[in-house]
Amino acid sequence: MISNNALEIRSAPSRFSRTEALPMNMNPASVVAVAELLARLVELLRSSTESRDTVLSVGPLQLDLMTRTARRGERTIDLLPREFLLAKYMMRRQGQVLTRAMLFREVWNYKFIPKSNLVDVHVGRLRRKIDQTDEWPMICTIRGQGFMLRAPQLAAMQCRTHHRTAAGDRRYGLTASASERAQHVA
């Protein structure tokens, strides 16, 4: 039962009290909408304070947001502005499958999803710059789903974008038998 001075809010998940005092002319649907809006604002403010890191790191890959530079180990990587945004988005969501639609919305700010290979072209360019032939791959293509950025040790067992080499094995302190190498290449 709803009293004249209070309304029990059951459907709005928020950090606020479940019972709020309301004026008589306040619509309950408006209260739910306001509570949801406040919860979303709190979440947005929380995520912006968490993302104030100036250097993002995934394994040996480092992205300095202040100087807009990228490095993998000792090697400096020259990135174009869109590649930098793509790398930043992927690094903030490491280990997550990123669909083409997500990348179009978040990196290119498209409100629609075009039938284009734009994302594939840019991810391919970024992959060629980040993953050299003697290094373990970090950018994986998940067939039918999208792309994923992982640390080399994790990606090595699941990515098949590059051939593993003895130099890459030694560089990251990993060993693989000849049968594992043959299985990876196949």
Asked if 98 and 24 sit in the same domain, the reply is no
Does residue 71 sit within a domain? no
Predicted pLDDT of residue 87: 96
Q: How many CB atoms lie within 10 A of CB 63?
A: 24
How far is residue 77's CA from residue 71's CA, in Å, rounded to a whole number?
5
Q: What percent of the chain has pLDDT over 90?
A: 44
Asked if 99 and 180 sit in the same domain, the reply is yes
Q: What's the domain count of the chain? A: 2
Asked if 108 and 38 sit in the same domain, the reply is no
Task: Identify which has the larger pLDDT, 31 or 15.
Answer: 31
Interior angle at CA 77, CA 153 and CA 116, nearest 5: 85
Asked if 105 and 161 sit in the same domain, the reply is yes
Predicted pLDDT of residue 46: 67
Cα-based distances in Å from 50 to 36, 45, 122: 21, 9, 27
Does residue 179 sit within a domain? yes
Q: Which of 185, 76, 72, 82 is nearest to 139 (CA)?
A: 72
Q: How many CA atoms lie within 13 A of 48 on its CB side?
A: 6
Does residue 15 sit within a domain? yes
Predicted pLDDT of residue 42: 76
> pLDDT for 91-140, tens place per residue?
999 999 999 999 999 999 998 888 889 999 999 999 999 998 888 899 99
3-state SS of 55-103? EEEECCEEEECCCCEEEECCEEECCCHHHHHHHHHHHHCCCCCECHHHH
Split at pLDDT 50, 70, 90, the class of 35 is: confident
Asked if 39 and 99 sit in the same domain, the reply is no
The secondary element (H helix, E strand) that includes residue 7 is strand 6-8
Asked if 101 and 175 sit in the same domain, the reply is yes
Asked if 179 and 98 sit in the same domain, the reply is yes
Does residue 74 sit within a domain? no
Asked if 105 and 31 sit in the same domain, the reply is no
Q: Which range has the worst mean pLDDT, 29-43, 78-92, 108-122, 129-143? A: 29-43
Asked if 101 and 176 sit in the same domain, the reply is yes
Does residue 87 sit within a domain? no
> pLDDT for 63-77, tens place per residue?
999 999 999 999 999
Domain that holds residue 120: 94-185
Does residue 102 sit within a domain? yes
Task: Identify which has the larger pLDDT, 32 or 20.
Answer: 32
Does residue 55 sit within a domain? no
Split at pLDDT 50, 70, 90, the class of 40 is: confident
Asked if 100 and 34 sit in the same domain, the reply is no
Under DSSP, the state recorded for 117 is S
Does residue 161 sit within a domain? yes
CA dihedral 116, 161, 68, 43 (to 10 degrees): 70
- What CATH code is carried by the domain that includes residue 125? 1.10.10
